[in-house]
Chain A
Amino acid sequence: KAGVTQTPRYLIKTRGQQVTLSCSPISGHRSVSWYQQTPGQGLQFLFEYFSETQRNKGNFPGRFSGRQFSNSRSEMNVSTLELGDSALYLCASSSRGGLEQYFGPGTRLTVT
């Protein structure tokens, strides 16, 4: 089975711009979660989608949003980028959600 894929792998954006990141889960997995990882804050949960519905949401501002399509692929959007949004954004898929998740390689976002 192919693993979780994320595109793009690297991205450089300017403050104020917006960005969309994409995640393709493992075939058959219906849950997709997004995380932000920074050296200072560690791994922080953004949100989880299950069967096209947002099921859980972390404590991030409304500039961070996501969606999931009928084929379980998911996108995450960040609007009005700030310097502090520079991070590794990780996507994880799971058959039903929860503790056993499979992570993609991440998208390294740099905001200048």
Chain B
Amino acid sequence: LAKTTQPISMDSYEGQEVNITCSHNNIATNDYITWYQQFPSQGPRFIIQGYKTKVTNEVASLFIPADRKSSTLSLPRVSLSDTAVYYCLVGDPPDSNYQLIWGAGTKLIIKP
């Protein structure tokens, strides 16, 4: 699996747009990029997944440049309830040797 690097923590304010960037220099041709959100003492929640360019859903947007060595999760107009840990994962499921490896994630704190 490609290794990912994310900032350990970020702060922002309510109403702002937040962009969290993930670096994955060794991404393979078949790899997809997936982001999860986790609140304390809860299981992670799938947010968005993409392969290239831009993907948007009702929660977030995912921007992936042409070289795919990084990706940016964009959260529009955040609120206090967006305070959580955000994880970026990269891989090509599934195969017999496949397992998800989770990094430390980015702890996002939204202030009033």
Chain A residues with a Cβ under 8 A of chain B: 4, 31, 33, 35, 42-45, 48, 50, 55-58, 88, 90-92, 96-106, 108
Contacts and interface: CB of A to CB of B under 8 A. Distances in A.
A86 to B, nearest CB: 14
A58 B44 contact: no
Nearest to B98: A56
A99 to B, nearest CB: 4
Contacts, number: 69
Interface of B: 32, 34, 41-46, 49, 87, 89, 91-94, 96-105
Interface of B is mostly: loop
Interface of A is mostly: strand
B76 to A, nearest CB: 22
B91 A98 contact: yes
A106 B41 contact: yes
A106 B41 CA distance: 8
